[in-house]
Amino acid sequence: MTNSVLHTELQQSIKCPVCFQEPMRKHTSWHIGGPADLLLKPRNEQDLRQALIYAQHHGLPVTVIGNGTNLLVADQGIRGMVIKIGLGLANIEVRGRLIHAGAGASLPFLARKAMQAGLAGFEFLAGIPGTVGGALIMNAGANDCAVGKLVRRVTACDFAGNSLTFVADELTFSYRYSCLAQRNIIVTGVVLEGKPDRVEEIKQRMKLYLARRKQTQPLEYPNAGSVFKNPPGDSAGRLIEQAGCKEMRVGSIQVSPRHANFFVNLGGGTAGDVLEIVQRVQHMVEKKCGVKLVLEVQKLGEF
């Protein structure tokens, strides 16, 4: 069955937007990525389950993304179906100390809702331009905080469309790691717990974190956040700078002069450019510092 026939059938069976041969550069913060065979944006969990059942019936591989802020998509694109979890699953509800958030909710929006409710512990999320689902999968964090510490319950579905629930005791989080990434599931929502605090104090901490981010990160160019994980007890950015890689450039991808662990797209950069500069930086850091840097960015598609 051709991709065009699959696209027509899918659009008839699911009412949410479906795109055929969609350029993934439109859906990643690096503005990089070739076409996805099919890309859809579920309006709700029912759309998501219908899409998963359809993909399973037709033997289509499924790739799930959020805002695409921590992704490197191949220049050749992604085969099968890409499901973008966004506004259709972005509800947020505060119940006492608990916040119920959909996987598609943005982290800055979640931080603001927590602040308005007088709940502390979410301030560090204000400067992370991702979604709740992606943050849970990789245990996103900043300023010595991480989202995993806030989790009380996670709702998800498997790739057959079955609903699942995990309580905090069933989950493991560590630095840029969540056991959710190993379970072959799609996160649909989470219950997080905050600590009561004065709104003004929460607001001041958020302002401090945002000002620090603006000062230290190259927000004026497309980027994917930290490219490498920090080695234990050290900083990837410091090692990259020490190895003499700051401002290194391959094609239109440059190691940022402002923060060496951020690689910016100066315009028209490709996944091939990113991979080449990643390999060069890894080689130089290992040679000069004796440390093998590990990617934090996730690779998707046909490399």
Which CATH number belongs to the domain containing residue 105 in this structure? 3.30.465.10
CB neighbours (10 Å) of residue 293?
23
Residue among 64, 71, 117 at smallest CA distance from 89 = 64
The answer to whether residues 65 and 128 belong to one domain is: no
The boundaries of the domain holding residue 7 are: 3-84
Same domain for 117 and 40? no
245-302 tens-digit pLDDT: 999 999 999 999 999 999 999 999 999 999 999 999 999 999 999 999 999 999 999 9
Pair (210, 223) in one structural domain: no
Q: Which of 43, 152, 176, 205 is catalytic?
A: 176
Assess whether 248 and 137 both reside in one domain. no
102 and 66 together in one domain: no
The amino acid at 225: G
| Structure tokens that stand for 10 in this block | 């899918």
**The domain boundary residue, chosen from 84, 103, 133:** 84
Last residue of a domain, one of 54, 84, 114: 84
Q: How confident is the model at residue 98 (pLDDT cuts 50, 70, 90)?
A: very high
Residues 10 and 122 in one domain: no
In terms of phi and psi (left: phi > 0; alpha: psi -120 to 50; beta: otherwise), the region of 290 is left
pTM above 0.85, yes or no: yes
Considering 215, 249, 281, which residue would you say is the last residue of a domain? Answer: 215
Same domain (yes/no): 203, 232 = no
Out of 106, 178, 226, 256, the active site residue is 226
- 110: burial class by Cβ within 10 Å (0-12, 13-18, 19+)? buried
Same structural domain, 80 and 153? no
Same domain, 192 and 115: yes
| pLDDT value at residue 143 | 85
**DSSP code at position 175:** T
Q: State the total domains in the chain.
A: 3
Closest CA to 132 of 156, 163, 104: 104
pLDDT at 7 over 70: no
Examine the domain organization and report whether 164 and 98 are in the same domain. yes
Find the CATH number of the domain harbouring 232. Answer: 3.90.78.10
pLDDT tens profile 276-288: 999 999 999 999 9
Statement to judge: residues 69 and 161 lie in one domain: no
Please pick, among 22, 45, 241, 296, the residue that the annotation labels catalytic.
Answer: 296
**191 and 127 fall within a common domain:** yes
pLDDT at 12: 76
Cα torsion 150, 73, 64, 219: sign: positive
User: Which CATH number is 7's domain given?
Assistant: 3.30.43.10
Known active-site residue 296: yes
Give the mean pLDDT of the chain: 95
Query: pLDDT > 70: what percent of the chain?
Result: 98
Residue at token pair 């943050």? 135
